[in-house]
Amino acid sequence: SAVISQKPSRDICQRGTSLTIQCQVDSQVTMMFWYRQQPGQSLTLIATANQGSEATYESGFVIDKFPISRPNLTFSTLTVSNMSPEDSSIYLCSVSADYNSPLHFGNGTRLTVT
Amino acid sequence: AQRVTQPEKLLSVFKGAPVELKCNYSYSGSPELFWYVQYSRQRLQLLLRHISRESIKGFTADLNKGETSFHLKKPFAQEEDSAMYYCALASGGYQKVTFGIGTKLQVIP
């Protein structure tokens, strides 16, 4: 399966600032996703990162708050903008080699907003 | 809307005892079900999927459409099975995957 590198692994940020999380895959993949896991909660899909076009956001998530880039088939970034303590969470990059392959996950980014 | 329910947040069993991690789902179509596992300090990884009908690390899971369940079972728990287990449902290919809240399995030596 693909090797997924996610950076940073953790960060502590101040309210009002922004953080960009990077996801690098060692092979080309069709699908890239960003998930959030809030404390004590399940994984929630934020958006699908589309190569060369705007991301597809799930209900409750908007581009202004979570801008996503995907310039090619191996790399994506998620930015958490204008952070508040409610954004404290684990953010996970996930990939699928093709439409018929299950998801594989990065190690996640543990974000704490103070 | 699709939903995955894992009723137990924590399940403690003794080593050698049988394990059953419960998962129920709600979906009107034909779902594809998975179990993911996260060991301490490791990434979330796929354990098994129902279409494979295979046993991984001694674990099996059978899709019961009548009861809308996909319980994970192992006849004899090992200490190394201690981890978080997430049940997941995929619809429309893998573009929409819904996860349960997870069950922490603690195997007591």
Q: Is the peptide bond before B75 cis (omega within 30 degrees of 0)?
A: no
In this prediction, residue A87 carries a pLDDT of 97
B101 close to A (CB below 8 A): yes
Tell me if B46 and A103 make a contact (CB, 8 A cut-off): yes
pLDDT tens track for B40-73: 989 999 999 888 778 889 999 989 989 999 999 9
Give the Å distances, CA to CA, from A102 to A21, B10, B20, B35, B45: 23, 26, 23, 11, 10
Residue range B80-90: average pLDDT?
Answer: 96
> Are residues A42 and B96, on separate chains, in Cβ contact within 8 Å?
no
Q: Among residues 11-40 of chain B, which lie with CB inside 8 Å of chain A? A: 34
Given a cut of 80, whether residue B21 has pLDDT beyond it is: yes
Quote the longest CA-to-CA distance of chain B.
42
What does each of the 114 residues of chain A score in pLDDT, given as a tens digit? 789 999 999 999 999 999 999 999 999 998 899 999 998 889 999 999 988 889 999 999 999 999 999 999 999 999 999 999 999 999 999 999 887 788 899 999 999 999
- pLDDT (tens digit, 9 = 90+) per residue, B90-107? 887 666 789 999 999 999
Q: Where are the alpha helices (DSSP H) in B7-109?
A: none
